[in-house]
Amino acid sequence: MKLSSFTKSFLGGAAGATLVLLLVFFSESNNKTKSQSAQPSDVEISQSQSIPVHQSSYLPEATTDFRKAATKSLNAVVHIKSEILTANTSYYDFFGPFKDYFNHYPERQNVYAAFGSGVIISADGYIVTNNHVVNGADKVSVKFNDGHEAEAQIVGLDPSTDLALIKVDRDDLPFLTYGDSDALQVGDWVLAVGNPFNLTSTVTAGIVSAKARNINILGSKSAIESFIQTDAAVNRGNSGGALVNTEGELVGINAAIASHTGVYEGYSFAIPVNIVRKVVDDLMEYGEIQRAYIGVQIQDVN
């Protein structure tokens, strides 16, 4: 079919007009886009914040400060050396009935030494420790944190609580004040201060694991066992050392560990300071513990 010249002219003009309109539309759209992109955004973009990155073993900063307690305790805890002298008779026994002819030779002695810790409880030289640290000793020596040494005298012993009181001739000593062991709660932080393996002035930390623990180690019918159990590391040489709270107050005297190997396995035991105070007061005043007995013995009826 052939189109008339009029129709061709009309269609050509319409196409041209349409092309012009499209060009104008895209031109205006492009201008609007450029105009809009030049305007500042209404959305505020915050500055990048640094996010701390930690290792998988990261622990938050502890809220409990042990430095105060450690500082107060170190100079008030001493190293104790107990010496037991025994005669060496094997030399004379060798000669049997002829030993009387050798009396002009000096008698030989063996010296057995044991080590432990002690806590200064007064400026005038009173020191509390364990009975098993000094019992039977012929000589007791005390070494202070500043390196000075002094010989001590045994004031009194109490095997029923495994406590002992000794004294040195000093009147200017730093000492620990008594806390309240009854106020301790399971989960409270405590520090053990002593001289394990002769490593003087050692501080370890733990929590109160249990209270009023009876572990049947004193082996006496009249024994008083009501130990504070902790997980603070305690080893040989810690016996008689201090257990303190986070204020640096004395709350116990370290006495024993529960172990299959003889070294620390996570269970240590301290004598509560409220028991220590009663024993120390009696030993100071009387030289022995004062305790009442009702005179009645209980037994099974069959």
Catalytic residue among 162, 181, 231, 268: 162
CB atoms within 10 A of CB 160: 17
CA–centroid distance for 288 within its chain: 32
| Contact assessment for residue 179 and residue 172, using Cβ atoms and an 8 Å cutoff | no
Which one is catalytic: 132, 158, 181, 268? 132
Report d(CA 280, CA 53) in Å as an integer: 53
- Cα 210 to Cα 200, 201, 267, 270: the distances in Å are 27, 26, 10, 11
Residues in the chain: 302
169 flagged as catalytic: no
User: 121, exposed or middle or buried, with CB in 10 Å at 0-12, 13-18, 19+?
Assistant: buried
Separation in Å, CA 75 to CA 79, 126, 199:
11, 14, 14
Which residue in the list 181, 209, 239, 268 is annotated as catalytic? 239
Distance CA(283)–CA(288), nearest Å, equals 5
Q: Determine whether 222 is an active site residue.
A: no
Q: Is 239 a catalytic residue?
A: yes
| Residues annotated as part of the active site | 132, 162, 239
